[in-house]
Chains A and B, each alone.
Chain A
């Protein structure tokens, strides 16, 4: 009987360890928690979002402060409407902040970088960042460079 209890204990530990491993990988290591940051929502319109995707980070001074929630096309202006959720603890972004789309490294994933402005009022839930700069498309940069060279 004692041996049987020992077996049951070990099996119980085994099952717990397996489930714990799954939970750690699914909830802790993956983006489960971070994709639903509690925070306020701001929007920005870009002429071109390049490779920006939902869940791309929103950074300020290189630190992640929020995530992209959705990217939709505004059919009137033909611009991309990007909704971002910013963590509540960063609630003092000036209203005249600037939103850029940058690339991490030369070929890395793209993210939104917020450059804070100097206004006294802060962005609140549902506000829009009006000053934006589109993603840099490598082909257009290269072709412009070649075109300028050719003119010389």
Chain B
């Protein structure tokens, strides 16, 4: 009997912990919203963060995008060829990249490559009491440390997703047209015929902006609220990657249902 009560108590503690975590993230988001625009008084800080989060993620994003495009081209060709519809390879590759894979995979890679780095950096600042030191000097760490990192991630993700999709389409072109011999003009022609600048490209951008905001918020929050110990930092970094990956995938389903659903 006691064992059962213990289990239930444990479950309750976990639930309360999760709700508290979500609540403090909400409060943190409100504090962050307050400094979002004042952060732009120091645009150089933001540029520095776009460099750290965006430019340094370029290599992994471009290489991954190329390979995803190559695989899509190969798999799509094998399936479409069964229906004598290999001319539709271009539109299949382009739409799946622009609508879905570009925003999602770029966001997942970004969470692993840059989100974790942001969390680790802020958590280390907290552990070594740099954030407290800033506050002692009457410098608001929200505005000088958190804000620029949030903006840097938010701006980088849509740009990276766009580059990912573009490199992917070029990869699909290479494997489809150059290697497998699909007709090149119908590859591009079908894309032009069936891809819509607002419905497809625009909504893909909308998705990746939302993913960028979610990853950025989780990354700075986990760093800022990390337990100021070595193991706390480790946990915070893991938490960022796990939470933001799940959030991206969940949000992706919800947004897709709203945008492309019936």
Contacts and interface: CB of A to CB of B under 8 A. Distances in A.
A92 interface: no
B85 interface: yes
Interface residues of A, number: 28
B163 A25 contact: no
Contact of B58 (A4, A14, A24, A34): A14
Contacts, number: 85
Interface string A62-84: 00000000000000000000000
A51 to B, nearest CB: 13
Contact of B159 (A8, A18, A25, A57): A18
B28 interface: no
Size class of the contact patch on chain B:
35 or more
Nearest to A111: B193
Interface string B37-59: 00000001001101100110010
The majority secondary structure among interface residues of chain A is helix
A105 B85 contact: yes
Across the A-B interface, the 4 shortest Cβ-Cβ residue pairs: A18-B159, A30-B195, A26-B197, A21-B166
Given A14-B54, A14-B58, A19-B159, 12 more contacts: A4-B44, A8-B47, A11-B47, A14-B156, A17-B159, A17-B163, A18-B159, A22-B162, A25-B162, A26-B201, A29-B169, A107-B85
11 contacts: A11-B47, A11-B55, A18-B159, A18-B160, A19-B162, A21-B159, A21-B163, A22-B205, A25-B94, A26-B202, A31-B192
